Amino acid sequence: MFITFEGADGCGKTTQLKLAAQYLESQGKQVVVTREPGSTGLGVQLREILLGYDGEVSSRAEQFLFLADRAQHVDMVIKPALAAGKIVLCDRHTDSTTAYQGYGRGLNLERIDYLNNITTDGLKPDLTIVFDVDIETSAARVGAQKDRMESAGTGFFNRVRQGYLEIAKREPSRVKVVDAARSIEQVHSDITSIIGKSLN
Ligand code: TYD
């Protein structure tokens, strides 16, 4: 089973992913926790460029760097783990490219679907959880120290948030939205029930 966690920066999904992994392990499941970008040797270097490069980056170049990281990640980490019967919990995946480069940067959405599909060689998450939170709350969680992507501004993050909600509308059986402005315990309890239903 392949589960992805998605949402704008500061939505709290990384904390929830760790809690979900602990929960699944306590149920005797074998879990692999991973993230994009930066979960392979090559990906670590791509991540440094994507988040730290201080020159101008065209939106199309940015898109292809995220996709290169993903192709390597799918081939070297995700597919082998799934083939070994493990549950893969992935912090960001294809929907991040749709939300950030598509809705956020304004690149063509159909083309992103096509490129995502080639990049993953047709692999799709069985379940995706979108952590939805208002821009003020997520900005406060990110704090003053911002990387290249986090510095994109309020208009950008509003589009990213709306993008995720559109993705969920388009694919309601795969994508579940949770209200991530609530307490860690409340959100975790939603996540365990969503994952539990999906596993059954
Ligand atoms: P990261 O520090 O991992 O953010 P977070 O902890 O919020 O997941 O940085 C990843 C950044 O890259 C984040 O701003 C989202 C962005 N991103 C894209 O724009 N497109 C993508 O395809 C992916 C995977 C990430």
> What tens digit of pLDDT does each residue of 121-139 get?
999 999 999 999 999 999 8
Q: Parallel, antiparallel, or unpaired: how do β-strands 31-35 and 127-132 relate?
A: unpaired
User: CA-CA distance, 187 to 96, in Å (whole number)?
Assistant: 20
- Specify the ligand 1 atom closest to the Cα of 36: 24
97 CB less than 6 Å from ligand 1? yes
Say which amino acid occupies 178.
Answer: V
pTM of the entire predicted model: 0.97
Q: Which of 37, 31, 127 minimizes the C-alpha distance to 84?
A: 31
What mean pLDDT do residues 142-166 have?
94
Q: Parallel, antiparallel, or unpaired: how do β-strands 87-91 and 31-35 relate?
A: parallel
Query: What is the token pair recorded at 148?
Result: 């290249």
* Average pLDDT across the chain, whole number: 97
Walk me through the domains of the chain, giving residue ranges and CATH numbers: 2-199 (3.40.50.300)
pLDDT at 200: 86
Say which amino acid occupies 39.
Answer: S
16 CB less than 6 Å from ligand 1? no
Q: With bands split at pLDDT 50, 70 and 90, how would you rate the model's confidence at 73?
A: very high
With a pLDDT cut of 90, the percent of the chain lying above it is: 94
What mean pLDDT do residues 192-200 have?
95
